[in-house]
Amino acid sequence: MDRTPGLSVRLKLTLSYAGFVMLAGAVLLAAGYFSLSRGVHPGVIFLVQSHAALLRYFAPIAAIVMTFLLVFGLLGGWLLSGRMLAPLTRITDATRVAADGSLSHRIELPGRQDEFRELADSFDTMLARLEAHVAEQQRFAANASHELRTPLAITQTLLDVARNDPKGANGELVDRLHFVNNRAIDLTEALLLLSRADQRSFTRERLDLSLIAEEATETLLPLAERRGLTIETSGDATPTIGSRALLLQLSTNLVHNAIIHNLPERGTVRIATSAHPKGAVLTVENTGEKLTPQLVATLADPFQRGTVRIRTDDAGVGLGLAIVKSITEAHDGTLTLNPRDAGGLRVTVQLPAAPPARLQPPAP
């Protein structure tokens, strides 16, 4: 931004400091002069006998004092304001370095707590946050590219095989190509969904979370049956505000995980919704392998998979919980993952409660 050049703050402070010193000096001199001049009358005699003589005597002294004060004020003001503003120079330098793209630099202003220290500390905190955020984005982009490259590379290999052996291009090859391509589509769709939730650009409506959880469960019922799982649902009306499509996706991801990452046989999935004064809560619990708290803490990170064991048919793309987290946060809610003592996971999503119904416009 181009601005008209102005006086530096240091110069302004110096001039005001000198100005105040001179003003104080002038007031003192005036007071001295008037108290002396009251003594000028016959009878009470100091050194002079008339006002004119007093002025002649007083003026040179006043001039010397004022000159001294001017020099003292300018010099002292310049030095003092320089010291006062030194931290500002440091802060400005740091912002320049950050603006050039280096987010690792910190001001680390020494000294006691004051206004400059507060500014510098908040600036350092902001830089640390930005740096972590950018690093996370870069890691995400690298992981996403890597994950997308895998199905493309497999496709390439399969196509090469088919080209070298045209008779080998049979049904099996087409099936595998179809499967790999499907995974690439799933992954791309998950990525799109994630960015959509992150942008928070969706319309919010009044919903019943229990109905949404029920819908997700019903869709996944055949999958649960194929795996011999028992599904228990419970919960009354649980009003909340949000995007129907995104909350359905959230519920589907949670129930899907609870089914897929369950025991190989006789597992259980429990889905419950409840309305609290503080908010609407969805809990999805399932039996399964024992999980450590350390592992559970990382599960919602993108492309984080708990176990290396891959079941090819229903294996997810590793974004399920990342999507749940981002949808929850976009709804100003909180996601909590807890390992169950007996094995398996308990996922709790808490969303803000819907305001009382009469505050809403009547339904058309």
Ligand X SMILES: Nc1ncnc2c1ncn2[C@@H]1O[C@H](COP(=O)(O)OP(=O)(O)O)[C@@H](O)[C@H]1O
Q: Which residues contact ligand X by CB under 6 A?
A: 257-258, 261, 286, 288, 299, 304-307, 316-322, 344-345
Q: Which is nearer to Mg ion, 21 or 321 (CB)?
A: 321
Does 316 sit near Mg ion (CB under 5 A)? yes
Instruction: Judge contact between 309 and 294, C-beta under 8 A.
Output: no
Q: Which of 320, 333, 339, 344 binds Mg ion (CB under 5 A)?
A: 320
Q: Shortest Cβ distance from residue 155 to ligand X (Å)?
A: 20
Distances (CA, A) of 96 to 4, 93, 118, 226: 20, 5, 19, 61
**From the CA atom positions of the chain, what is the Rg in Å?**
38
In angstroms, the CA 343 to CA 134 distance is 35
Tell me the backbone φ, ψ of residue 232, rounded to 5 degrees. Answer: -115, 130
**Least separation, in Å, of the C-beta of 112 and Mg ion?**
51
Closest chain position to ligand X (CB):
316
Q: 213 and 251 in contact (C-beta within 8 Å)?
A: yes
Give which of Mg ion, ligand X, none residue 349 binds (C-beta under 5 to 8 Å, depending on kind): none
- How many residues bind to Mg ion according to rule CB under 5 A? 3
Shortest CB 119 distance to ligand X, Å? 40
Please say which residue, 98 or 260, places its beta carbon nearer to ligand X. Answer: 260
Stretch that binds Mg ion, among 21-29, 119-127, 149-157, 256-264 (CB under 5 A): 256-264
Cβ 321 to Mg ion shortest distance, Å: 7
Which residue, 233 or 304, has its beta carbon nearer to ligand X?
304
Task: Pick the piece of the chain touching Mg ion (CB under 5 A) from 103-111, 222-230, 242-250, 257-265.
Answer: 257-265
Nearer residue to ligand X within complex by CB, 25 or 316:
316
Strands 334-339 and 345-352: antiparallel
Q: Helix 115-164 to helix 171-199 angle, to the nearest 10 degrees?
A: 160
Q: Please give the sequence-ordered ranges of beta strands (E in DSSP) within 139-198, or none if there are none.
A: none
Dihedral sign for Cα atoms in the order 21, 22, 25, 26 = negative
The candidate with the shortest Cα–Cα distance to 333, out of 270, 241, 213, is: 241
Q: Which of 257, 262, 283, 348 binds Mg ion (CB under 5 A)?
A: 257
- How far apart are CB 206 and ligand X at their closest, in Å? 28
Residue 307 contacts which entry, ligand X, Mg ion, none (Cβ below 5-8 A, type-dependent): ligand X
* Cα dist from 279 to 16, 200, 206, 209, 245, whole Å: 57, 20, 13, 11, 20
**Cβ at position 143, least distance to ligand X in Å:** 12
Contact footprint for Mg ion (CB under 5 A): 257, 316, 320
